[in-house]
Chain A
Amino acid sequence: MQLNQFLVLSAFLFGTGIYGVLARRNGVLVLMSVELMLNAVNINLIAFSAFNRNVGGQVFALFVIAIAAAEVGVGLAIVLLIYRNLRSPDLDEVDQLKG
């Protein structure tokens, strides 16, 4: 198998995640898109780990998974807080820093 296949797949997922982060209005959906991006990164890591015969890549991927989980937890807590304050999970309404 070509290395590039995985890398291109990973790039595709990453781009999609970017689109989702920028375009989605709901906070939860934004977090989901962030998960997409992180998974893309993981695929990248594992592919390179296989290519280079280095297990470090997989260990790194493990760490990423753990941190992603933590991040989702905190992120959802924040989304909850936003919902409580603004009565809506709509991120467009979070504009107190508007200049």
Chain B
Amino acid sequence: MLDAVWIVTALPAASFLVILFFGKRLPKKGAGIGIAAVGASFVLSCITAAQWIDHVNAAEGHSVGLGAFVGKGMLLSGSEHAVVKPVVHSITWWHNGGVSFGVGTYVDGLTVMMMFVVTIISLLVHIYSTGYMRGDHRYTWYFACLSLFTSSMLLLVVADNTLQMLVGWELVGLCSFMLIGFWWEDPANSRAAIKAFLTTRTGDIGLMIGVIILFFAVGSFGIEKTNVYASGPLGQHDILLAASVCLMIAIMGKSGQFPLHTWLPDAMAGPTPVSALIHAATMVVAGVFLGARLYPVFYDGFSIGNGGVNMMALIGGITILIGAVLAFVQQDIKKVLAYSTISQLGYMVMALGVGAWVAAVFHLFTHAFFKALLFLGAGSVSHGGTHHSFDMREMGGLRKSMPITFWTFLIGSLALAGIFPLAGFWSKDEILVNAGANGFDVFLVIGLVGAFLTAAYMTRCVYLTFFGEYRGTHHPHESERSITIPLIVLAGFSILAGLVNAAPLGLEKFAEYVQPTFAFPDLMHVEFDYPKAILSVALATLAIGIAAFYWFRREEFGALEGLTKRNKVAHAGYAFLENKYYLDHLYEDVIVDGIRGPIARASYWVNQHVIDGVVNGAGRGAKTVGQFAYGTVDQRVVDGAVNGLARETGAAGGELRKIQTGQVQRYALLLFAAVGLLSLALFLTNVL
């Protein structure tokens, strides 16, 4: 399977086409095909993962500790691990001017892990959607888009060259656009879709420029070659820095980092399963995946090995905080989760920025499970509890009427908050530990603050949704099995997923199989730090406690009620948050309108006076020429000639007619005259 990974990508693509063309005629309206294809892809991904593990084990068996790759202070000393090369297959599509373009697969631990995550989450979302989207008038198209998205994401993940990755990147952006604006009858949804597309597009500029810079530096689009170049002695730091900055912009756009994060909350306009799949677990992590895949480029470009603040870590850190703070002021449960996603993505990027590659990727892995769980839980709440509303002001007390949803959601929240022994604890703590150890202390602080805030806003969210009195007007009930079973499965993963890399327990399977050993910088291996772990759990528990205390005993805090309305400072702070730091205002009104206004007016002026002037002038000129041509040339000259010819012919005819007098003697005269003349002519020519 390692050599035939393309099948995993092709299956959902084929199912997309089948659903597209035949979906409406099938009994399950295409859902069956989609589930079957993704299910098969999942099984194949698991097989591939097993094969990769065997592959690594086999290589370990022959480990000789190749150390000789010396260059620029990076020693691939082959410490505990042998160098296991990824399994790469590529097909050249065409050559042009010395450059060859092709498609291919690049299978290593990261690929295998991503494939696993994408297919399992996609499969669960497919099953969930059969219940959630039942009766929707575009049911078949929905499943077609889901299949296309799964296939595109897999294409991106297995790509062996940056162009293919770019194609997959754009395709997932397209699917995101289509699915956010799925109910485009409401113009707000279309606007959200366009906003998502344009914001990520802004980031994509960085991606394209970065890919091109790397191409000119490396001489090829291949990822393997690029990593070799970046981690070897040939890599030029300045070029790699430029490429890193550009690719960082792409990560900012796609993975919702500050300041290009504004599209993620708006993307919640799409169906909830879509939010779970695309905007929590898979597409938004494409940026993190890019950073992980091309890590040697970033490692060298941002000089991560030397410690200190670099662009990646800084942006990641800022994102953690702004996301967490904004989650507090949201009334819509999905928006809380969206800002939480932004915050967690900030963790992953920050982790990459401080050299904690395994931590970042591991957090990606665990976050996928519990964030998807939370989103699907929110969907269950709206489906069964509030009749398709996500406003938490209409919820409350749902733990009694929707127990499964409540317990799974609670598990997901605790995992997100990083409570031992759930998955989030292991991954988040790994990040914090690495941040502290590698000399990035400020980021450790940021991470801890973020953990505190995360626990607090999730408590608020859980309380408002499931505790207290029901404030809505419907009759809440538990959702059906197709919705609750994925919730339960994901809850199981949220509990157990952390154990694949539980360092203190000696289970570092994740690091062993996923961390690349070929053309990869020698990262510091940080030992698990018990004090920091205990500190983070304590902080999280404290946050939960404070928040719970506040919310459960709200009556006693009556003085705080309405504080934001009475106190001007508090009100200003609240308004600042409510307007999302006025970033949207900045983007749309200041930047876009500021550019659009003068430019639009200028181009309007050019259009009216210059372009229209030319066009109208040409038109007038043509008209004048036409009139001249008609009047003078056509009427007088041409028609004159033609009419004159006709007239003269008529006149000549009229004249010639007079010969036909009807009088025989006249004819005889002509006859004899002719005879005479002819005979004269003959006489003259022959006789004389």
| In the complex, A touching B (Cβ < 8 A) | yes
Tell me whether B685 is interfacial, beta carbon within 8 Å.
Answer: no
Assess whether B662 is in contact with A99, with CB atoms less than 8 Å apart. Answer: yes
Select one of A21, A98, A99 contacting B665, CB under 8 A: A21
Assess whether A99 is in contact with B660, with CB atoms less than 8 Å apart. Answer: yes
**B665 / chain A contacts, CB cutoff of 8 Å:** 21-23, 30, 91-92
Docked CA distance A18–B659 (Å):
20
Complex: chain B residue closest to A23, CB-CB = B665
Select one of B659, B660, B663, B672 contacting A91, CB under 8 A: B663
Tell me whether B669 is interfacial, beta carbon within 8 Å.
Answer: yes
Tell me whether B657 is interfacial, beta carbon within 8 Å.
Answer: yes
**A23 / chain B contacts, CB cutoff of 8 Å:** 665
Total interface residues on B, CB under 8 Å, equals: 11
Question: Which residues of chain A (58-99) have a CB below 8 Å from chain B?
Answer: 91-92, 94-99
Question: Which residues of chain A (13-29) have a CB below 8 Å from chain B?
Answer: 18, 21-23
Select one of A22, A30, A92, A98 contacting B669, CB under 8 A: A22
Closest beta carbon of chain A to B270's beta carbon, Å? 93
Assess whether B661 is in contact with A91, with CB atoms less than 8 Å apart. Answer: no
Assess whether A95 is in contact with B657, with CB atoms less than 8 Å apart. Answer: no
A-B residue pair count with CB separations less than 8 angstroms: 32
Tell me whether B668 is interfacial, beta carbon within 8 Å.
Answer: yes
Contact with A along B434-467 (1 / 0, CB 8 A): 0000000000000000000000000000000000
Docked CA distance A96–B664 (Å):
10
Contact with B along A1-41 (1 / 0, CB 8 A): 00000000000000000100111000000100000000000
Docked CA distance A8–B566 (Å):
150
Residue of B657, B661, B663 with most partner-chain A CB within 10 A: B663
Assess whether A94 is in contact with B660, with CB atoms less than 8 Å apart. Answer: no
Residue of A23, A91, A99 with most partner-chain B CB within 10 A: A99
Assess whether B668 is in contact with A21, with CB atoms less than 8 Å apart. Answer: yes
Assess whether A96 is in contact with B663, with CB atoms less than 8 Å apart. Answer: no
Question: Which residues of chain B (657-688) have a CB below 8 Å from chain A?
Answer: 657, 659-665, 668-669, 672
Assess whether B662 is in contact with A95, with CB atoms less than 8 Å apart. Answer: yes
Closest beta carbon of chain A to B668's beta carbon, Å? 6
Assess whether A22 is in contact with B668, with CB atoms less than 8 Å apart. Answer: yes
Assess whether B657 is in contact with A94, with CB atoms less than 8 Å apart. Answer: no
Complex: chain A residue closest to B660, CB-CB = A99
Total interface residues on A, CB under 8 Å, equals: 13
**A91 / chain B contacts, CB cutoff of 8 Å:** 663-665
Docked CA distance A23–B461 (Å):
133
**B669 / chain A contacts, CB cutoff of 8 Å:** 22
Docked CA distance A92–B662 (Å):
9
Docked CA distance A30–B661 (Å):
18
Docked CA distance A91–B661 (Å):
12
Docked CA distance A22–B667 (Å):
9
Closest beta carbon of chain B to A17's beta carbon, Å? 10
Closest beta carbon of chain A to B664's beta carbon, Å? 7
Assess whether B664 is in contact with A98, with CB atoms less than 8 Å apart. Answer: no
Closest beta carbon of chain A to B678's beta carbon, Å? 15
**A94 / chain B contacts, CB cutoff of 8 Å:** 662-664
Closest beta carbon of chain B to A99's beta carbon, Å? 3
Assess whether A95 is in contact with B663, with CB atoms less than 8 Å apart. Answer: yes
Assess whether B668 is in contact with A98, with CB atoms less than 8 Å apart. Answer: no
Assess whether B668 is in contact with A97, with CB atoms less than 8 Å apart. Answer: no
**A98 / chain B contacts, CB cutoff of 8 Å:** 660-663
**B657 / chain A contacts, CB cutoff of 8 Å:** 99
Assess whether A97 is in contact with B672, with CB atoms less than 8 Å apart. Answer: no
Closest beta carbon of chain B to A8's beta carbon, Å? 16
Docked CA distance A98–B669 (Å):
16
Assess whether A18 is in contact with B660, with CB atoms less than 8 Å apart. Answer: no
**A96 / chain B contacts, CB cutoff of 8 Å:** 662
Docked CA distance A28–B322 (Å):
134
Assess whether A95 is in contact with B661, with CB atoms less than 8 Å apart. Answer: yes
**B672 / chain A contacts, CB cutoff of 8 Å:** 18, 21-22
**B659 / chain A contacts, CB cutoff of 8 Å:** 99
Contact with A along B646-663 (1 / 0, CB 8 A): 000000000001011111
Complex: chain A residue closest to B657, CB-CB = A99
Complex: chain B residue closest to A98, CB-CB = B662
Complex: chain B residue closest to A24, CB-CB = B665
**A95 / chain B contacts, CB cutoff of 8 Å:** 661-663
Docked CA distance A95–B666 (Å):
10
Residue of A21, A22, A96, A97 with most partner-chain B CB within 10 A: A22
**B662 / chain A contacts, CB cutoff of 8 Å:** 94-99
Docked CA distance A6–B659 (Å):
37
Docked CA distance A95–B663 (Å):
5
**A97 / chain B contacts, CB cutoff of 8 Å:** 660, 662
Docked CA distance A26–B193 (Å):
111
Closest beta carbon of chain A to B610's beta carbon, Å? 69
Docked CA distance A56–B640 (Å):
67
Complex: chain B residue closest to A22, CB-CB = B669
**B663 / chain A contacts, CB cutoff of 8 Å:** 91-92, 94-95, 98
Complex: chain A residue closest to B659, CB-CB = A99
Contact with A along B376-419 (1 / 0, CB 8 A): 00000000000000000000000000000000000000000000
Shortest Cβ-Cβ A-B pairs, 10 listed: A99-B660, A95-B662, A98-B662, A97-B662, A22-B669, A95-B663, A99-B657, A18-B672, A22-B665, A98-B661
7 sample A-B contacts, Cβ–Cβ < 8 Å, listed by A number:
A91-B665, A94-B662, A94-B664, A95-B662, A98-B662, A99-B657, A99-B660
Known: A21-B665, A92-B665. 13 other contacts (CB 8 A): A22-B669, A23-B665, A91-B664, A91-B665, A92-B663, A94-B664, A95-B663, A96-B662, A97-B662, A98-B660, A98-B662, A99-B660, A99-B662
Residues of B within 8 A of A (CB): 657, 659-665, 668-669, 672
Residues of A within 8 A of B (CB): 18, 21-23, 30, 91-92, 94-99
